[in-house]
Amino acid sequence: MNTIERHTAPLSEALRIDLTEFWSNIFQTSFADLQVVLAGGEVGQNVDIILIAREGATITATCHLTVSRLNPRLGGLGEIATAPQSRGKGLAAQLVERAIVAATASGCTQLVLGTVNETAARLYAKFGFRYLPGTRVMLRNADGTEGLGSAPFDRRDIKIVAGAPCHRLTIIPPILTATDHAILDANVELLATRLADQTSCMGLYPRYERLAKKGGQWFVAQASNGLTIGIASVIGVTSGIAQVDGFVVPKVGADVLASLFQAAILWGEAMGFAIQSVCGVDDLNKRAVIVAQDSGYEETALLTIAGHPVPILRFSPKRGRLL
């Protein structure tokens, strides 16, 4: 007989160790980065609820719900896992159902999860999840709006802020939104969904987290209602040179993208770097912003991002300015 427990971060050290070991065994990847989240490191920025099924003292299934405090309408599910010997008993369905109830109680109306497993997708579909075009991400939309993160915002109240854990969920909608950009952010290997299916969901924020740990920085264009409408990043790519890249959602305007690029450029220059930028050859909007930032000379190249060769323009520091 399985019993179901509900835990809210912060969790005890013993439980954190048990969970990360359980997930690592099932997914064959490390979950060490989640230790900070489970320990309560994001309590002020996100709500993390972990549902656990046990048979006796043994963990048999889990489901991890995260709800954004910055934009409480938005939540995500991850670590939906069942031990091999416990599959076929409906445990995942029970935990997902309870996660939906918990999300609703938190004011969350849009839930996302990522899966490439068709059997799992059929289960999630029973709860109202549907794949978003150009992705392997599923959305359960209970508020009647169209698309993901599509609430209106006031352009006059957009501000550029440093990326932080509060953006763990809010960066998902703009990354998954159809856009004219070809490359969203070369620094974290993000392509637009028109070029390649996006298979990641809750794994998107950790890309920026890893960039920061490698000595880079990233910035978010944030609306007053908590929506993220653009992202830019900067990181050293060669000795003395840092690369800046980023994107905004459609209809936001080049001025917001320019402000994001400027924040990243200023950070890179303050760290002692000369700046280079990249864009797809047909990305006229991003190219115009880069040229306006006086990024130096231009060259054509072929850049492989996430296994996809993409023709790009690389704007390198002016000859003589660095060399």
Is residue 301 in a domain? yes
Domain boundary at 109, 141, 173, which? 141
The total number of structural domains in the chain stands at 2
Non-local CB neighbours of 162 within 8 Å, separated by 6+ positions: 217, 218, 219, 220
Q: Are residues 167 and 120 in the same domain?
A: no
Residue 321 is predicted with a pLDDT of 47
Residue 146 lies in a domain: no
Q: Which stretches within the chain are classed as H helix?
A: 13-27, 34-38, 91-105, 118-125, 172-176, 204-213, 254-270, 284-292
Instruction: Give the integer Cα–Cα distance in Å for 198 and 133.
Output: 9
What 8-state DSSP symbol labels residue 198?
B
Q: What is the pLDDT of residue 322?
A: 41
User: Residue 321 falls within a domain, yes or no?
Assistant: no
Instruction: Tell how strand 46-55 and strand 2-8 pair up.
Output: antiparallel
Note whether 303 and 161 are same-domain residues.
yes
For residues 42 and 179, membership in a common domain is answered with no
Q: Which long-range contacts (CB under 8 A, 24 or more apart) does 233-236 make?
A: 233/163, 233/185, 233/187, 233/188, 233/208, 233/264, 234/187, 234/264, 234/265, 234/267, 234/268, 234/273, 234/275, 235/187, 235/211, 236/271, 236/273
Question: What is the torsional sign of CA 254, 186, 304, 118?
Answer: negative
Domain presence at residue 322: no
* 160 and 281 belong to one structural domain: yes
Structure tokens at 6: 């509900």
**3-state DSSP assignment of residue 248:** strand
Angle separating helix axes 118-125 and 91-105, nearest 10 degrees: 50
- Strands (E) located in the chain: 2-8, 46-55, 58-68, 74-82, 110-114, 130-131, 137-141, 159-162, 183-185, 190-191, 217-222, 228-238, 241-248, 274-280, 297-305, 308-316
The reply to whether 165 and 73 lie within a common domain is no
Query: Looking at the structure, do residues 183 and 295 belong to the same domain, yes or no?
Result: yes
Work out the end-to-end distance of the chain between its first and last CA atoms, rounded to an integer number of angstroms.
70
Q: Looking at the structure, do residues 136 and 161 belong to the same domain, yes or no?
A: no
The pTM of this model reads 0.93
* Parent domain of 266: 155-316
Last residue of a domain, one of 141, 175, 203: 141
> Largest Cα–Cα distance of the chain, in whole Å?
73
With a cut of 70, which residues of the chain have pLDDT below it? Answer: 144-146, 149-152, 319-323
Same domain, 178 and 285: yes
Beta bridge partners of 236: 242
Q: Which of 112, 249, 268, 251 is nearest to 184 (CA)?
A: 249
Asked whether residue 276 is domain-assigned, the answer is yes
Looking at 141, 172, 188, which one is the last position of a domain? 141
Decide if 28 contacts 56 (C-beta within 8 A).
no
Reduced to 3 states (helix: H, G, I; strand: E, B; else coil), residue 136 is: coil
CATH number at 104 reads 3.40.630.30
Domain co-membership, 120 together with 169: no
One domain for residues 109 and 226: no
SS3 321: coil
Same domain, 188 and 108: no
Domain contains 237: yes
Tell me, yes or no, whether 204 and 131 share the same domain: no
Please write the tens of the pLDDT for every residue from 303-322: 999 889 999 999 999 754 44
**How far apart (Å, rounded) are the C-alpha atoms in residues 62 and 121?**
17
Q: For residue 184, tell me if it sits in a domain.
A: yes
Q: 3-state DSSP call for residue 231?
A: strand
* Domain-embedded: residue 217: yes
pLDDT of residue 144: 67
